[in-house]
Structure 1
Amino acid sequence: MSAVVYVLSTVTGYVLTSALLLKCPSLLHRRKRETFRSRHISHRGGAGENLENTMAAFRHAVKLGTDMLELDCHLTKDEQVVVLHDSNLKRSTGVSANISDVSYADLPPYLCKLGVTFKRECFVEGGDDKNIPLLRDVFEAFPQTPINIDIKVNNDTLIRKVSELVVKYDREQLTVWGNSRGEIVKKCHKENPRIPLLFSLPRVLLLVGLFYTGLLPFVPIKEQFLEIPMPSITLKLRDPKKMTRSERFITWVADTLLMRKTLFDHLTARGIQVYVWVLNDEEDFKRAFDLGATGVMTDYPTKLKEFMENSIPSTSLLE
């Protein structure tokens, strides 16, 4: 009987301690220092309003007052760091070639019209700027704007060169980098631990597991930015009639597990920013902010700006 009482008291003490630390993590962990906070994040510069990842898109978003530019990086044949999403040029330029096989001077321009990845049956048409930019061009044009870099391939040279550019332009406190792949994030951290990290997918899964077992409040975290999708938007991106019952169920489970205000609040209290992507509708903007997300990533920076001005009047994009 005494053993049962001991076990029950131990479990009760653990649960209460976990609950306390979940609400007040500063009792165990020093809050991470935030050199910037981003609420309005422009995905690929705002892929629904300008051709994605172009200087025109970035200039438009910064002029609106976006808090952060999100972009993707690859390496060309002559080892130039370029801003581009896909490894192959077919979707963006119409030329079927891997970017790693083409020198920068030979890169074709963007097509005049591109589909918006996270908005079903929507397209954007570009103006005069159809060039694939260099990462250094972006750094030079927007020296004070935080930039979120997705390292698209597991390439040591790419990671090293991105780090060198970040250091050269004195952007270690204005940049966050990573990828969904754990091995890429590990290499990024090893190359330059001073650049803040995004959670990789394996680390997101670990984070969720720790949260639901009550262990999260006791575990130190090296990452400073949790960037996760809102699974429910899958129902908008695909025709619901073509989704199987199991696909809809998996989407519901993933959404239920990830979109938790208690989790977001705990991370925010530890100085870890939470970005939800890629949201393009007002109802999703509202849901993300209501859940405690510190930032929303969108293809439509104008729409998000208007939503924030109308729904969050005390919040300035330039704060």
Structure 2
Amino acid sequence: MFPPLYYLVPVLGGYAVTSYYLLKNPHILHKRKRLPFHCRHISHRGGAGERIENTLEAFDNAVVNHTDLLELDCHMTKDGQVVVSHDGNLLRQTGHDVNICDLTYQELPQYKDSLEVTFFPGHKSSGSDHRIPLLEEVFQRHPDKPINVEVKVDNGELVKKISELVKKYQRTERTIWACTTDTVMRKCRKENPDMPVMFTPRRGAILLLLYYTGLLPFVPLPESVVETYMPSLINRTYFPNNSLMRNRFLVYLQDKLMMRKNLFQHLEARGIQVYLWVLNQDSDYQRAYDCGATGIMTDYPSKLRTFLQRYDEEQRARGAGPHEAAAGEQQDRC
């Protein structure tokens, strides 16, 4: 054995053992985050499979079905109103090729009679409510319900107005900043640093890198929520625009890298919740929870409610047997 290896092997061995121990016991280095909510049932766009997405009727239906968290998207109109809509251009949702930012709130067209469910192709939703609502209306209607607000565009004024509404309705601790770019997230955190934040895709990639290099247990994380897709949905119900992401080998690789129960358990132990989107079938619900996800984001609030009732009953029944056997069965499924 070469002399340097006499030193390198024990150092690497000690590092690996320490990293593994801290992965299992993160409280030694990190204070657990204490969010005032724990979300298992999350309604994507208010439950876009049961009512027209992002409408007050959709949010009402989700709350009736005991959702823990409403997920919605925001844009700003020409006259400075913060509205709830996934798309900036309204062609898909309304049939009118117009941009929200170019219209006043009163000029916004109504939703179509029915919309295809984005993450469940071939399925459509409908409802009696076809109006694009104000974010303020959602806050007023559901004052105590945690809400995940995704900022869809890089607009400092939009971020400021959302923050003002959050403060006005005293819901800072119950409203999550969400966006897909670091630039927008920096603006969100600067505008209201007291709101919990999600990992952006880039930060999520760094999280995986830290996990696989063993550095994760040593690194502080400012985020409170992981929101990510479950890779096994790709080419089934989720069809990314990037053709590279649809490559079967890369899908398989992503699934192996991302769906790690040890990772999810470590994050949960640090008070960081893990939400997987957008799941609309019982088999996917089951796998998400077996892999240790905190919560599921779905288009079908009533369907997920029914599943959770059955799942909890099964867990209680399984609890009568050896805990190790149950844990082993869950690990096999994941």
> Common fold, TM-score beyond 0.5?
yes
Q: How does 1:214-225 map to 2 (within 5 A)?
A: 214-225=214-225
What does residue range 64-213 of structure 1 map to in structure 2 within 5 Å? 64-127=65-128, 129-213=129-213
The alpha-carbon deviation at position 191 of structure 1 amounts to: 1.0
Write the letter of the residue equivalent to 2:10: S
Report if aligned partners of 1:43, 1:299 keep a CA contact under 8 Å in 2.
yes
State the SS of the aligned residue for 1:173: helix
Secondary structure of 2:112 counterpart: coil
- Among the aligned pairs, what percent are the same residue? 50
1:46 counterpart letter in structure 2: G
Shift, 1:197, TM fit: 0.2
Structure 1 residue ranges (4+ consecutive) displaced by more than 4 angstroms after TM superposition: 243-246
Q: Secondary structure at the match of 2:247?
A: helix
Q: Structure 1 CA distance, aligned partners of 2:28 and 2:55? A: 45
Kindly provide the amino acid, as one letter, of the partner of residue 64 in structure 1. N
Q: Is the 8 A contact 2:245 2:251 kept in 1?
A: no
CA contact (8 A) 2:41 2:297 kept: yes
Distance in 2 between residues matched to 1:246 and 1:224, nearest whole Å: 29
CA distance, structure 1, for counterparts of residue 77 and residue 101 of structure 2: 5
Task: Give the structure 2 partner of residue 10 of structure 1.
Answer: 11
Match of 1:301 in 2: 301
Quick check: 1:92–1:110 contact (8 Å CA) kept in 2? yes
Kept in 1, the 8 Å contact 2:110–2:131? The answer is yes
Tell me if the contact between 2:177 and 2:197 (Cα under 8 Å) persists in the aligned partners.
yes
**Is the Cα contact below 8 Å between 2:226 and 2:273 reproduced in 1?**
yes
Deviations 1:285-310 (CA, angstroms, capped at 9, x unpaired): 00000111110000001110000001
CA offset at residue 246 of structure 1? 7.3
Structure 1: gaps spanning 5 or more residues: none
The corresponding residue for 1:284 is 284
Tell me the alpha carbon deviations over residues 57-79 of structure 1, each in whole angstroms, 9 at most, x when there is no partner.
00011011111100000000011
Q: Is the 8 A contact 2:84 2:133 kept in 1?
A: yes
- How far off is 1:254 after superposition? 1.2
Contact 2:120–2:238 under 8 Å retained in 1: no
Contact 1:178/1:184 (8 A) holds in 2: no
**Equivalent AA in structure 1 for residue 193 of structure 2:** P
Are residues 238 and 276 of structure 1, via their aligned partners in 2, closer, same or farther at CA, if it must alter by over 3 Å? closer
Q: Say what the alpha-carbon RMSD is for the aligned residues.
A: 1.6
- What amino acid maps onto 1:187 in structure 2? K
In the TM superposition, residue 2 of structure 1 has moved relative to its aligned partner by 5.0
SS of 2:313's equivalent?
coil
2: CA distance, partners of 1:230 / 1:34? 24
Q: How far does residue 234 in structure 1 lie from its aligned partner after superposition?
A: 1.3
Distance 1:212 1:142 in 2: 40
Displacement after TM superposition at 1:120 (Å)? 1.6
| Equivalent pair of 1:45/1:61 in contact (CA under 8 Å) | yes
Of stretches 79-88 and 176-185 in structure 1, the one that deviates more from structure 2 is 176-185
1:238 Cα deviation from its structure 2 partner: 6.5
Aligned to 1:23: 24
1:244, distance to aligned residue in structure 2 (A): 9.2
Deviation of 1:245 after TM superposition, in Å, equals: 11
**Change beyond 3 A, Cα 1:171–1:13:** same
Give the equivalent residue in structure 2 for 1:310: 310
Please tell me whether the aligned partners of residues 51 and 124 of structure 1 are also in contact (alpha carbons under 8 angstroms): yes
Aligned amino acid, residue 36 of structure 1: F
Deviates more, 1:268-277 or 1:244-253: 244-253
Letter paired with 1:189: R
CA distance in 1, matches of 2:298, 2:126: 17
Distance across 1 between alignment mates of 2:49 and 2:265: 30
Q: Is the 8 A contact 1:151 1:179 kept in 2?
A: yes
Distance (whole Å) between structure 2 residues aligned to residue 180 and residue 23 of structure 1: 29
Q: Which amino acid aligns with 2:53?
A: E
Which residue type is aligned with residue 153 of structure 1? V
Tell me which amino acid in the other structure corresponds to 1:214: G
Amino acid in structure 2 at the alignment position of 1:231 = P
Other structure's SS at 1:157 match: helix
One-letter amino acid of the counterpart of residue 170, structure 1: Q
1:263–1:255 distance in 2 versus 1, CA, 3 Å: same
The answer to whether the Cα contact below 8 Å between 2:116 and 2:123 also exists between their aligned partners in 1 is yes
TM-score by length of 1: 0.95
1:44 is matched with: 45
- Provide the secondary structure at the position in 2 that maps to 1:41: strand
